[in-house]
Amino acid sequence: MGRKREDRGKGKKITVDPESDLDGDFNVPVRSFRDLTVGNIKEALFRSRYLQLLLSLTLIGAILRFYQLGYNSFWLDEATTFNIAVKTIPDIWQVTTAGEFNPPLFYWAEHLMLVFGNTEVILRFLPALLGVLTIPLIYLVGREFMDRNTGIIAAAAFTFSPFLLFYSQEARAYSMMLFFVTFSMVFYLRALKNNDVRDWALFGILSALAFWSHFYALVIIGALILYALYDLFPKIRGSLTAARPLVLACVLFGIICLPLILVTIQLFFKRTASAPTYGIQGPDLIIATFVQISGSDVAMYLLLLLFLAGIVQVFLLDKKKGIFLATLTILTFVISNLLSYRIPMQPRYLIFLTVVFFIAIALSHKLVSAWLHSPRVVYGFIALMVVINAPMLAGYYSGYTKEDWRGFAAGLQQQTRQGDFVVVVPGYVSQPLDYYYSNTSDQTIEFSAYTAADLNAVNAQKNNNTIFFVVTGDISAANPEGDAAAWLEQNARSLGQDTGIYLLTSG
């Protein structure tokens, strides 16, 4: 049978080919909250393949994200989360205004989580939960953008993505930002179809929460608003009243984010005052982002091929939708490339790009569906997502994926004696060290050092005590002049390293 199309208002909705529809002739009886009866829910659970698959994927996603949640020790950024989260609510805001790289919403949420304890599992619980909840949300995004088949394949890609799994198990704001960006896009796509005030308002509110989660969410939010102006331009040209719902969304966003916007402007000029000493710059950021999102070099080639195939296919089906995916991808990389020369840039800041990336990959199934009209195509693409990610997932839990500060601290305590000096280089990496190591109970004296002058000052005080230097690769970012590394090379000897944490001594 041919591809079925139906009109919705002035827009055009492309539905699933009936022969590829996993539910066949069955229509889910739950359309609104009023339909949530026991009978309707049972019927949907037993008869809808989409619902069964989505629940299964969400359950699998939960198992993957919560399994061994506390296995890795905190690394630098997660220890920073802990040290900020223990502060009071007002003090967390003060940390943001003083120059913290992330807005306060995630820290406020983690502050509340500390009621249950301060372990790795407790602090990573919220990111893991939000990572799980994003799976059904990406299904809704795919359904709103194209159809249920696209949504369920995208949900499978999210479920098994090692990249998303990693950041769902990290006590940082990336999972929260992705959750709110994905949630906002559900209402954004609905609003593009119907220009409904409620949908635009929810988009504005959820986008604001995304921005309060991570500053870089502003990039995707800005790209979405620019595309909305392009999409609504014919209507706006006919009547300015057509722009009112979008304006409302922007006003709501502005009101909710006003305090943060003022801080963001100040921090932007502060952070761009000098060139970054770390991060990825220029076009290299594009390759690094695709590699990390894909999980490996090999997976990247296959997923990029599917991504491009999906972009081409959606252009053939609906030019505007093709422009939408291309616009979000291109604008994100153009803005990020320009900013990378003034602000430290990492692929994880672009985690929201996974929404576009995996939706486009899911759309590539339509190339096969055009020749083989069968639900097996959808099942095959879900299986393909598993196969592509299986090699990375197979080794994911078998070793540490972060610096092992827990194990390093235990080893350091065995090496030191009463009165020894412990010098942390650069000084800010004392945050993960001090979470696991107490110089008070170990009866050592801890120092922070950033430069050769700092190291000379500590060395002058040592008398007969042994100095232990705790060093990480951050030394090159904290001391780009290189004098600290040169001093250590001349005055210290290595005792070994543990997952990138080096222990040196002067003795």
484 and 367 fall within a common domain: no
What percent of the residues of the chain are helix, what percent strand, and what percent coil, each to the nearest 5? 70, 5, 25
392 and 448 fall within a common domain: no
320 and 246 fall within a common domain: yes
Helix (H) or strand (E) run with residue 414 in it: helix 405-415
Q: Is the pTM of this model over 0.75?
A: yes
Domain assignment present for 282: yes
378 and 412 fall within a common domain: no
273 and 321 fall within a common domain: yes
Measured between alpha carbons, how far is 213 from 81 in angstroms, rounded to an integer? 13
Q: Predicted confidence band at 384 (pLDDT cuts at 50, 70, 90)?
A: very high
Q: Predicted confidence band at 17 (pLDDT cuts at 50, 70, 90)?
A: low
Average confidence (pLDDT) over 218-244: 90
How confident is the model over 430-482, as pLDDT tens digits?
999 999 999 999 999 999 999 999 999 999 998 888 999 999 999 999 999 99
Domain assignment present for 227: yes
Of 345, 372, 396, the position where a domain reaches its end is 396
How confident is the model over 281-297, as pLDDT tens digits?
999 999 999 999 999 99
Q: Predicted confidence band at 1 (pLDDT cuts at 50, 70, 90)?
A: very low
How confident is the model at residue 321, as a pLDDT?
Answer: 96
How confident is the model at residue 7, as a pLDDT?
Answer: 38
Domain assignment present for 50: no
Write down the mean pLDDT value for the chain.
Answer: 92
341 and 196 fall within a common domain: yes
Measured between alpha carbons, how far is 60 from 323 in angstroms, rounded to an integer? 33
Domain assignment present for 35: no
Domain assignment present for 147: yes
Contact 152, 52 (CB under 8 A): no
**Longest alpha-carbon distance in the chain:** 87
387 and 411 fall within a common domain: no
464 and 378 fall within a common domain: no
N-term to C-term CA, the chain = 80
Contact 476, 482 (CB under 8 A): yes
Q: Which of 198, 159, 147 is nearest to 383 (CA)?
A: 159
pLDDT: is 33 or 318 the higher one?
318
386 and 257 fall within a common domain: yes
Range of the domain at 412: 405-505
Helix (H) or strand (E) run with residue 422 in it: strand 421-425
For 288, 295, 330, the CA distances from 281, given in Å and listed in that order, are 10, 20, 16
Contact 103, 211 (CB under 8 A): yes
Helix (H) or strand (E) run with residue 14 in it: strand 11-14
How confident is the model over 316-360, as pLDDT tens digits?
999 999 999 999 999 999 999 999 998 889 999 999 999 999 999
Q: Which of 278-282, 379-383, 395-399 has the highest mean pLDDT?
A: 379-383
How confident is the model at residue 507, as a pLDDT?
Answer: 63
259 and 365 fall within a common domain: yes
How confident is the model at residue 15, as a pLDDT?
Answer: 58
- Among 77-91, 141-155, 223-237, 298-312, the range scoring the smallest mean pLDDT is 223-237
- Among 42-56, 246-260, 300-314, 475-489, the range scoring the smallest mean pLDDT is 42-56
Indicate if the alpha-carbon torsion angle 110, 115, 116, 120 is positive or negative: positive
Measured between alpha carbons, how far is 197 from 248 in angstroms, rounded to an integer? 8
- pLDDT above 70: percentage of residues in the chain: 95
Domain assignment present for 64: no
- Among 2-16, 134-148, 488-502, the range scoring the smallest mean pLDDT is 2-16
CA angle 56, 59, 64 (to 5 degrees): 125
Of 396, 422, 447, the position where a domain reaches its end is 396
pLDDT of residue 110 exceeding 90, the answer is yes
How confident is the model at residue 183, as a pLDDT?
Answer: 98
315 and 451 fall within a common domain: no
Is residue 482 left, alpha or beta, with left meaning phi > 0 and alpha meaning psi from -120 to 50?
left
Q: Predicted confidence band at 16 (pLDDT cuts at 50, 70, 90)?
A: low
Domain assignment present for 234: yes
246 and 376 fall within a common domain: yes
Q: Predicted confidence band at 19 (pLDDT cuts at 50, 70, 90)?
A: low
Where are the strands (E) in 15-78, listed by range?
none
Contact 151, 362 (CB under 8 A): yes
Amino acid at 192: L
Number of domains the chain contains: 2
How confident is the model at residue 131, as a pLDDT?
Answer: 98
pLDDT: is 272 or 262 the higher one?
262
For 222, 443, 466, 468, 494, the CA distances from 505, given in Å and listed in that order, are 51, 17, 7, 4, 7
Domain assignment present for 127: yes
Of 339, 362, 396, the position where a domain reaches its end is 396
